[in-house]
A and B are shown apart, each in its own frame.
Chain A
Amino acid sequence: MLSEAGSGAGVTAGGAGRSGADGPRQAERKRAFRRVLPFVEGATLLLALAAPVVLGEQTNLITLLTNVLILSLLAISFDLCWGLSGIMSFGQALFFGVAGYAIALVGRDLGFSELWGTLPLAMLVGFVLAGLFAAFLLLGRKPPTSIFVALGTLTGSYAAERLVSGWQYVGAGNGLSAVKLLKIGDYEFVEGTAFYSLALGILLLVYAGARFLKQSQLGLVLAGMRQNEERLAFLGYRVQLFKALVFSLAGMVAGLGGALYSYHQGFIGPGNMGPGLSTAAVIYCLFGGSGTLIGPILGTAVVEILTYVLADQAAIKAIWPVILGLVLLVVVMFQPKGILGLFLSDRERIGSYGRRRRDG
């Protein structure tokens, strides 16, 4: 995406001659907008790689950062829905939580917690569950309104939380604790650097996948869909099907996050699938900058680390949720593109796809 030096074939011949002396040069100047995202991505990656080295033995901080990485999966999952496809999902934690429960139950009842089996299982659970929701909410004959989708997902998330709270088999209100440790063969992932590395590796893979999706032509279709869904239908795109697909993929990512969360905390509870965590996903994403993929990760980091630091201060602890709420209101009202939106041109945020390549 960074390279300007693609094939010069095709359109080069005609345009230049006709266009007066200034035309192409002007276009060239306009096109040379500065790219910020790759630098942000690079810097974030460096920080993430350096963290375990710098922090070393401070396990509680490593645990905090591992948690950030895991919740970032949830944030990316929401960004795939809202930032990329314009689906307002207020129930992203549902897929996170259900997958978390699924692997906890597999560990408890079947005694199985091998990585190669459980993580794909969690992804499958998230994918299928989100697919079912998509079939119900998105695939009607008429395109649904975003309010309908938002309420539908919110209701699903809320209902699931209530259901689980009263269901003895899955631990009712207490949730499932002492989740079996994630392992490969005889090696068990406990909290600390190993789990951190695992979470980072998985986040990187998911990020690369999401980035690929965004920059592919499917990403272009999604970008068009966000601007004018009806227009895309008239061009011959099965808009709702695309949405359903991305929604299911997002569910898969959330499911993966939920499984890691469950293993990492050794606990999964009703709150991990409810509207509370679903809203947190929205917050991470909007705060960081939706549609940028890296923004939601930064949003997660800022919100979670601040929460961790401030929760220690007795004076602030009690009113921290209120402060967080207010900060969010301010962001949504005055900086709807998130923190990254301050540095990013709209052009880069939305992305440009097939670009004309000129020689010289």
Chain B
Amino acid sequence: MALLEIRGLRKTFRTLRALDGVDIDVRAGTFHGLIGPNGSGKSTLLKAIAGDHFADEGTIVFDGGDITRATPYERARAGLSLKFQITAVLPELSVYDNVLLARQSGDSLAKLLMSSSRRRLDGEIGALLERFRLIDRADDLAGELSHGQQQWLEIAMALALGPKLLLLDEPTGGMSPEERRATGRLLEPIKAHCTLIIVEHDLHFIRDICDHLTVLDQGKVLDQGDVETIQRSPKVQQVFTTRV
């Protein structure tokens, strides 16, 4: 059974049909890329999955439960984690505190009040920061990080939630080519315990990291399949050569 099943999703903004009957299955343990020209509905779809807005029609089933109308809080608790397109780290808190905040979001109120439980998390958070090359900046304010580092911090925060499904909206936006390659390497080990949906403009990055692609165009699924199939798909080639 698929981890995420989307059926007949529609979303209209006034007169614009952002999503027009989208069906997608995402299997557990895969890296699933969403591509398509600007305005094809990628971000709208991702936001509908994350709960930033509700779809007008259709259903989203995640891990066996219907989350079509669940609040962001409920989705997060179910194991869904989102990295925002525009980095939204908390700039006035330290890098460490940002991850700490993400890591303990499942804790009860009583646990939150007992500050001693912080120390218990030290090792775990340290390991995450280590992995995303932020360990030396743990005590700096998140707002002082470079753009690329903020993106990594975002990913670290999203992962600190221990999600089953991680949604990445343009994880390499604003990064240098070197940072992009590094991001790809940083994401690789996640596959063991977490499924990924990535929206990305950089087709090279997507090709390198994803197993499965869904191509959206004008709010519809144009084609889906593994990376090879999509690359050879005449429909996709046509759209990308004429409009991108």
Q: A216-B112, A217-B117, A218-B113 are in contact. Are A15 and B90 (CB under 8 A)?
A: no
Whole-angstrom distance from the CB of B149 to the nearest CB of chain A? Answer: 14
A224 near B101 with CB under 8 A, answer yes
Residues of B within 8 A of A11 (CB): 122-123, 125-127, 129-130, 135, 138
Residues of A within 8 A of B161 (CB): 235-236
State whether the Cβ of B43 lies closer than 8 Å to any Cβ in chain A. Answer: no
Alpha-carbon distance between A27 and B119 when the two chains are bound, in angstroms: 20
Residues of A within 8 A of B129 (CB): 11, 15
- How many interface contacts (CB-CB < 8 Å) are there between A and B? 147
State whether the Cβ of B104 lies closer than 8 Å to any Cβ in chain A. Answer: yes
State whether the Cβ of B102 lies closer than 8 Å to any Cβ in chain A. Answer: yes
Whole-angstrom distance from the CB of B47 to the nearest CB of chain A? Answer: 11
A27 near B136 with CB under 8 A, answer yes
**Chain B contact surface mostly:** helix
Residues of A within 8 A of B208 (CB): none
Alpha-carbon distance between A357 and B127 when the two chains are bound, in angstroms: 14
Q: Mark A167-193, 1 if CB is under 8 A from B, else 0.
A: 000000000000000000000000000
Q: A14-B126, A14-B135 are in contact. Are A235 and B97 (CB under 8 A)?
A: no
Alpha-carbon distance between A282 and B162 when the two chains are bound, in angstroms: 41
- Give how many B residues have a beta carbon under 8 Å from the other chain's beta carbons: 50
State whether the Cβ of B39 lies closer than 8 Å to any Cβ in chain A. Answer: no
Whole-angstrom distance from the CB of A238 to the nearest CB of chain B? Answer: 5
Alpha-carbon distance between A30 and B141 when the two chains are bound, in angstroms: 10
Alpha-carbon distance between A227 and B100 when the two chains are bound, in angstroms: 15
Pick the contact of A355 from B82, B96, B117 — CB < 8 Å?
B96
State whether the Cβ of A128 lies closer than 8 Å to any Cβ in chain B. Answer: no
Candidate in A19, A215, A355 with the most chain B CB atoms within 10 angstroms: A355
Residues of B within 8 A of A30 (CB): 139-140
Say which one of A2-10, A79-87, A270-278, A316-324 lies at the interface with B: A2-10
| B-contacting residues, A233-267, CB 8 Å | 233-239, 245
A237 near B118 with CB under 8 A, answer no
Residues of A within 8 A of B113 (CB): 212-213, 216-218
| A-contacting residues, B141-166, CB 8 Å | 141, 157, 161
A346 near B92 with CB under 8 A, answer yes
Candidate in A220, A232, A239, A354 with the most chain B CB atoms within 10 angstroms: A354
Pick the contact of B139 from A14, A27, A230 — CB < 8 Å?
A27
Q: Write the residues of chain B forming the contact surface with A, with a CB cutoff of 8 angstroms.
A: 50-51, 71-73, 76-77, 82, 84, 88, 90-94, 96-97, 100-102, 104-107, 109, 111-115, 117-119, 121-123, 125-127, 129-130, 135-141, 157, 161
A-B contact pairs, 21 of them (CB 8 A): A7-B119, A11-B122, A27-B138, A213-B113, A216-B114, A216-B115, A217-B104, A217-B113, A220-B101, A234-B50, A234-B82, A235-B102, A235-B157, A236-B106, A236-B161, A346-B92, A347-B141, A352-B93, A353-B93, A355-B139, A356-B122
Q: Write the residues of chain A forming the contact surface with B, with a CB cutoff of 8 angstroms.
A: 6-7, 9-11, 14-15, 18-19, 23-24, 27, 30-31, 141, 212-213, 215-218, 220-221, 223-224, 227-228, 230-239, 245, 346-347, 350, 352-357
17 more A-B contacts (CB under 8 A) besides A7-B122, A10-B122, A354-B119? A9-B119, A9-B122, A10-B119, A14-B126, A15-B126, A15-B130, A220-B101, A223-B90, A233-B73, A235-B157, A236-B106, A237-B73, A347-B141, A350-B93, A354-B97, A354-B100, A354-B122
- Pairs A-B, 6 closest by C-beta atoms: A11-B126, A236-B76, A10-B122, A15-B135, A236-B105, A10-B123
